[in-house]
Amino acid sequence: MPEWSFADRELMSRALELAARGLYTTEPNPRVGCVLVHGEQVVGEGWHVQAGEGHAEVNALAQAGERARGATAYVTLEPCSHFGKTPPCADALIKAGVSRVVAAMQDPNPQVAGNGLQRLRDAGIEVTCGLLEEQARELNPGFIKRMQQGLPWVRVKLAMSLDGRTAMASGESKWITGPAARADVQRLRARSGAVISGADSVLLDDSALTVRASELGLSADEAAAAVQRQPLRVLIDSLRRVPLEQRFFREAGPTLVISTSAEQAAESYQSIGSELLALPGDDGKVDLVTVLRNLAERGCNEVLVEAGAGLSGAFWRAGLVDELIVYMAPRLLGSQARPLMQLPFESMSEAMDIAVTDMRAIGQDWRITARPIFPS
C-alpha cells in the first residue's frame, strides 16, 4: 500500500468535493473531480459536468495550461483510456506532461480496469491508486454497480410515522413528513436516472414524480442545472390501470410504463409521448429484475423507488434493494394505518437484518439510511 502524505489526502478530498458538483448532472457518466498541483500550488481544478462535455482531467488541464507540465494530478477515478464521446483522458495527461498521477480508484468496468493507469506508467508517469477509495466509491455507487453487474443502484424511499405506518387505511399519505424532508426527496430524485412507482401510489397520491427547481432547496444555479435532466419516470402498472389523463403523464419529462402485456396499447402511450413495455414474469406480474436490467441498458446508474408497501416490499423480497431511506415523522397514524412494507414474515427466523449507515434530523423529521445485510 502506498504511503500518502497529509497534503495528498487534502488534495484528493478537494477532488472529491469537485466531483460532487456533478451529483445531479453527469448521468450516465460517473461523477469525477481532478486537482492539478505544481509544487505546493494548485494550478488547475475541474470536474465532469455532463455527458458529452469535457471530463474532469481535461477541464483541469485547460485551467492549468502550461503549468500542468511537471504537475501532480489528483483524480477521483482512473483516467479513461478509450475513445467515447471525448478522447482518452490518459492521453491528455501524458500530452500535458504531468509527472505524477494519484487516483482514488480504478475504473469499475472489469474490461478496462487498470488500462488507463498502465498507459500512464508506460509513458513514464509515477502512478498510485487507492487514496480515499471508499469515499470515491460512495460518490458513484450506481456507476460502479452498473459496470460490474449490469444493474443500477436501487434506493427505496419510504416515509413513516413514529408508529411505523406509511398511509391511512384508505391509502391517503399526503403529507406524512414536513417540507424539509420533501425537499430532501426532491434531491434524491434529481440524482437518480430513474424514479419507479406503482399504479396504486400514482392513483392514490396523483404523483408526478418530477424534479421541481423551487422545491430542491439548492442555489438557483444548482437547481437550474438539476432540472435540465429530468429522471425517467417509470410506472409499474401490470394491468394498465392508470388512465392516460393522469397527472403522471401530463407533466414534462420522459415516462415509461411497464406492464405484463402491451398488445394493441403501445400506440396509445406513444401518442402522449410515453413508452409502453411488456416485461412479464413467471408469476404473472412484472419481472423486476428485467426492469432493472433494462434501465441499466438505458444508462441509469441510480434508481429511486417511491412506491407503496406492496411494490417496495416486492423489491426487498427479491433482494434488489441496495439502500433503504426512511423518513420518520413525529406523528402517530394508528393501528388501522398501512405498514411500511409488505413482508409477510411469520417467525423471527425470517427477519431481515439491516445496517444503519446514517441517521440525521431533516427539519422536523428524521432520515434513516440503511443497507441490507445479506447472509454470508
Domains and CATH numbers, the chain: 6-139 (3.40.140.10), 146-372 (3.40.430.10)
Worst-scoring range by mean pLDDT, 9-18, 86-95, 167-176, 292-301? 167-176
Listed in sequence order, the DSSP H helices in 192-287 are 199-205, 220-228, 247-250, 266-270
Using the predicted structure, report yes or no on whether residue 102 has a pLDDT greater than 90: yes
Measured CA to CA, the distance from residue 208 to residue 361 in angstroms comes to 26
Using the predicted structure, report yes or no on whether residue 176 has a pLDDT greater than 70: yes
Q: What is the mean pLDDT of residues 85-109?
A: 92
Using the predicted structure, report yes or no on whether residue 88 has a pLDDT greater than 90: no
How does pLDDT run across 48-59, given as a tens digit for each residue? 998 888 899 999
- What contacts 66, CB < 8 A, 6 or more positions away? none
Residue 105 CA: distances (Å) to CA of 83, 94, 130, 135? 20, 19, 5, 10
How does pLDDT run across 178-189, given as a tens digit for each residue? 999 999 999 999
Asked whether the whole model's pTM tops 0.85, one would answer yes
Using the predicted structure, report yes or no on whether residue 263 has a pLDDT greater than 80: no
- Short-list 61, 53, 80, 68, CA closest to 143: 80
Task: Render the burial of 231-264: b for 16+ CB within 10 Å, e for the rest.
Answer: bbbbbbbbebebeeebebbeeebebbbbbbebee
Using the predicted structure, report yes or no on whether residue 344 has a pLDDT greater than 70: no
Using the predicted structure, report yes or no on whether residue 141 has a pLDDT greater than 80: yes
Cell of 62: 485547460
Cell of 306: 417511491
Cell of 300: 441509469
- What contacts 303, CB < 8 A, 6 or more positions away? 142, 152, 153, 154, 155, 192, 193, 194, 195, 196, 292, 295
Cell of 100: 505524477
Residue 51 CA: distances (Å) to CA of 25, 29, 177? 8, 6, 35
**pLDDT at residue 204, rounded to an integer:** 85
**pLDDT at residue 17, rounded to an integer:** 98
Q: What is the mean pLDDT of residues 145-151?
A: 97
**pLDDT at residue 333, rounded to an integer:** 72
Measured CA to CA, the distance from residue 150 to residue 77 in angstroms comes to 19
Measured CA to CA, the distance from residue 182 to residue 175 in angstroms comes to 9
Q: What is the mean pLDDT of residues 220-246?
A: 91
Residue 276 CB-half CA count within 13 A? 21
Measured CA to CA, the distance from residue 67 to residue 125 in angstroms comes to 16
Measured CA to CA, the distance from residue 321 to residue 32 in angstroms comes to 25
Residue 322 CA: distances (Å) to CA of 325, 330, 373? 10, 26, 10
Q: Which residues are annotated as catalytic?
A: 57
**pLDDT at residue 93, rounded to an integer:** 96
Q: Is 189 helix (H, G, I), strand (E, B) or coil?
A: helix
Q: Taking the CA atoms of the chain, what radius of gyration do you get in angstroms?
A: 23
Residue 318 CA: distances (Å) to CA of 28, 147, 284? 25, 21, 15
- Short-list 374, 371, 363, CA closest to 182: 363
Using the predicted structure, report yes or no on whether residue 86 has a pLDDT greater than 80: no
Listed in sequence order, the DSSP H helices in the chain are 6-19, 56-64, 89-96, 115-122, 133-139, 141-149, 179-191, 199-205, 220-228, 247-250, 266-270, 288-297, 309-317
